[in-house]
Amino acid sequence: MTQISAAARGNPASVTQIDHARAGTVTPAMRTVAEKEGRDPEYIREGVAAGRIAIPANIHHASLSPEGVGGGLRTKVNVNLGISGDVACEAEEWKKVDVALELGAEAIMDLSNSGKTAAFRRALVEKSPAMIGTVPMYDAIGYLEKPLVTITAEDFLDVVRAHAQDGVDFVTVHAGMNRRTIESFRETGRLTNIVSRGGSLIFAWMEATGNENPFYEFYDEVLAILHEHDVTISLGDAMRPGSTYDATDAGQIAELIEIGKLTRRAWDAGVQVIVEGPGHMALDEIAANMKLEKRLCHDAPFYVLGPLVTDIAPGYDHITAAIGGAVAAASGADFLCYVTPAEHLRLPDAADVREGLVATKIAAHAADIAKGVPGARDADNRMSDARRRVDWEGMFAEALDPVRAREYFESAPPSTEGTCTMCGEMCAMRTVNQIMDGLTVDLGKE
């Protein structure tokens, strides 16, 4: 029988979802997830207790509609947004939030990295039923108003604490890039070095100060903060490959080994875990990487960016990522971070967010069908039935992006009612429907 965590024993009142699950309690959040997934609540509780499922649900996030991330559940999709120093337009970020919620993103990561970000973050938590994630490292310089090299370990912990108190449901912490990981990176070399923004900042701090990664050195303190507010730790992959050339190299795998150890420590402290993964990766390496993560990280939920399966498609990287994401999720990944057409080029606008989100939702849904997730085919079957009946409203209702589908159809009205301009009077559905109704058809003409 799984033991209740030390953190939970120290506090008679269980705080986190994993505390409750290990104590045998099915929480309201677990019941909500079970209903959404078509699973028995006990299935969810057992998964949370074992760490196979995470339900990121900060105790301060009152507007949250809980989602489960992990084995046997629908693949979830995250949207990145946030205020940038070069494009510091909060109104544009709210447009992106609206698109994300309209199209059903299960998570939104606020990656704001310019100025004081707390007001936007708090408003996002207040508004959003989707789970909210952040990377506290991005916020450190603006929050603390100090040069990077003068920030102390305690300062970094203060930023994590502020995000937890503001109600974010999961935080990315790059704790696996310790001295051992960096040694592997330096010995073997890379084509694109460190491409993680948070990872590069920690690497710069470590090099300037000569200290160990503060999130690794003071990991227990980080976990204590997260446990207090039930914040899920998303163990960031600072050494993710930024090119297909660097995929599955010594730096990536060395960090993954460290993350596996940190996963167990988090669970022991009563903190839920998600593990982040690559990155850029050739198509034939993806499935093996998913299995490797599950083995080294003890079946913890896996959250991947893409992976992007080629490096030469700027402007179309939402497609390269969707290809990799579909393979990754079908092979065991549980959570996909969207990529937009603007990746590697500029901050995405609201239109880019729509393109990237829909592409990633297609990948996630295709993987769910392949994995046999309960109910995954239901919408497809309803769509096919509506197509057979040439029921346009029924088709729009089942579309991942009903607005786009309707715009395309209405942009070119057909001359023959009940068809579209692709086939017109030669519409196969219309022709066969009429024959099945006992009518004589002559090229679709009465």
* Residue 297, marked binder: no
* Residue 426, marked binder: no
CB distance 234 to 262 below 8 Å:
no
- The amino acid that residue 419 corresponds to is T
* Residue 198, marked binder: yes
* Residue 138, marked binder: yes
* Residue 240, marked binder: yes
CB distance 285 to 248 below 8 Å:
yes
Say how far apart CA 161 and CA 143 lie, in whole Å. 12
Which among 112, 116, 122, 121 is positioned nearest to 86, based on CA atoms? Answer: 112
Question: CB 220: neighbour CB atoms within 10 A?
Answer: 12
Six-digit token string for 335: 């959570």
* Residue 430, marked binder: no
Q: Which residues contact 437 (CB under 8 A, 6 or more apart)?
A: none
* Residue 22, marked binder: no
* Residue 365, marked binder: no
Question: CB 305: neighbour CB atoms within 10 A?
Answer: 24
DSSP letter at 246 equals: G
- Pure H helices in 136-218: 136-144, 153-166, 179-188, 197-209, 214-217
* Residue 109, marked binder: yes
* Residue 276, marked binder: yes
* Residue 420, marked binder: yes
HSE-up (13 A, CA, CB side) for residue 63: 16
* Residue 405, marked binder: no
CB distance 329 to 75 below 8 Å:
yes
CB distance 120 to 139 below 8 Å:
no
Expressed in percent and rounded to 5, the helix, strand and coil fractions of the chain are 50, 10, 40
Six-digit token string for 351: 């239109």
* Residue 154, marked binder: no
* Residue 227, marked binder: no
Which residues does the annotation place in the binding site for [4Fe-4S] cluster? Answer: 420, 423, 427
Which residues does the annotation place in the binding site for Zn(2+)? Answer: 280, 344
Which residues does the annotation place in the binding site? Answer: 80, 109, 138, 174, 196-198, 237-240, 276, 280, 303, 344, 420, 423, 427
Which residues does the annotation place in the binding site for substrate? Answer: 80, 109, 138, 174, 196-198, 237-240, 276, 303
